[in-house]
Amino acid sequence: MNQATKASARDAGPASSYVDTENGLVDRTIFSDEAIYHRELERIFARAWNFMCHESQVKEAGDFFLTRIGEDQVIVTRDKKGAVNVLLNSCRHRGNTLCRAEQGKARSFMCPYHGWNYGLDGKLVGVPGYEEFYRGGLDRDEWGLGHAAQVDSYKGFIFATMDPDAPGLLEYLGETGRVGLDIAAKDENIEVLPGIQKNRIGCNWKLAVDNLFDWYHPTISHASSDRSDFFPLQDTLYQMNQMVMLGDYGHAIAGPFVKPEGEDAASDVENTYGTQPIMPHPNIFPNLWIALNGTQLSLRLPRGPFETEIWWFTLVQKDLPAEERRKTQLFATHFFGPGGLLEQDDGENWAHSTRATKGIANRRYPLHYAMGKGKDKVVDSPLGHKRVETVVNEHGQLWTYKAWAEWMDADSWDELKQNHTPAPTGRI
Partner 1 sequence: MRAAIGKEVTNTLRDMELEARMRMQYEVEQFLYNEAALLDDRKFQDWIDLLTDDIHYWMPIRRTMNANQLNEEFTKPGDMAYFDDDKEVLKYRIARLDTGYAWAEQPPSRTRHLITNVRITNFEEKEIDVESNFHLYRSRLDTEEDSWFGKRCDRLRRVGSDLKIARRHIYLDQTVLLSTNLSSLF
Looking at the Cβ atoms of 239 and 344, the one nearer to partner 1 is 344
Angle at 193 between CA 189 and CA 197, to 5 degrees: 140
Q: Does 202 bind partner 1 (CB under 8 A)?
A: yes
Candidate residues 73, 317, 329, 381; the one interacting with partner 1 per rule CB under 8 A: 329
Q: Does 366 bind partner 1 (CB under 8 A)?
A: no
Looking at the Cβ atoms of 325 and 375, the one nearer to partner 1 is 325
Q: Does 260 bind partner 1 (CB under 8 A)?
A: no
Round to whole Å and give the CA distance between 312 and 298. 5
Helix residue ranges per DSSP H, 165-302: 169-185, 205-211, 218-221, 223-227, 234-237
Is 31 exposed, middle or buried, given 0-12, 13-18 or 19+ CB atoms closer than 10 A? buried
Candidate residues 35, 46, 320, 341; the one interacting with partner 1 per rule CB under 8 A: 341
Shortest Cβ distance from residue 40 to partner 1 (Å)?
21
DSSP line for 104-149: EE-SEEE-TTT--EEETTS-EEE-TTTTTTTTT---GGG-PPPB-S
Q: Does 228 bind partner 1 (CB under 8 A)?
A: yes
Contact stretch for partner 1 (CB under 8 A) within 139-147, 223-231, 259-267, 363-371 = 223-231
Looking at the Cβ atoms of 71 and 389, the one nearer to partner 1 is 71
Q: Does 62 bind partner 1 (CB under 8 A)?
A: no
Site for partner 1 in 136-195 (CB under 8 A): 193-195
Shortest Cβ distance from residue 199 to partner 1 (Å)?
4
For 304: left if phi > 0, alpha if psi spans -120 to 50, otherwise beta; the answer is left
DSSP designation for 206: H
Looking at the Cβ atoms of 59 and 326, the one nearer to partner 1 is 326
Amino acid at 265: A
The three-state secondary structure class of 248 is: helix
* Residues β-bridged to residue 367: 26
The three-state secondary structure class of 267 is: helix
Shortest Cβ distance from residue 44 to partner 1 (Å)?
22
Shortest Cβ distance from residue 234 to partner 1 (Å)?
14
Q: Which of 127, 4, 13, 108 is nearest to 62 (CA)?
A: 108
Neighbours of 291 (CB within 10 A): 23
Q: Does 199 bind partner 1 (CB under 8 A)?
A: yes
Q: Does 221 bind partner 1 (CB under 8 A)?
A: yes
The three-state secondary structure class of 173 is: helix
Q: Does 405 bind partner 1 (CB under 8 A)?
A: no
Q: Does 338 bind partner 1 (CB under 8 A)?
A: yes
Looking at the Cβ atoms of 83 and 220, the one nearer to partner 1 is 220
The three-state secondary structure class of 288 is: strand
Site for partner 1 in 78-137 (CB under 8 A): 100-106
Looking at the Cβ atoms of 307 and 409, the one nearer to partner 1 is 307
Q: Which residues bind partner 1 (CB under 8 A)?
A: 100-106, 193-202, 220-221, 223-225, 227-230, 309, 312, 314, 325-326, 329-330, 332-334, 337-339, 341, 343-345, 347-349, 351
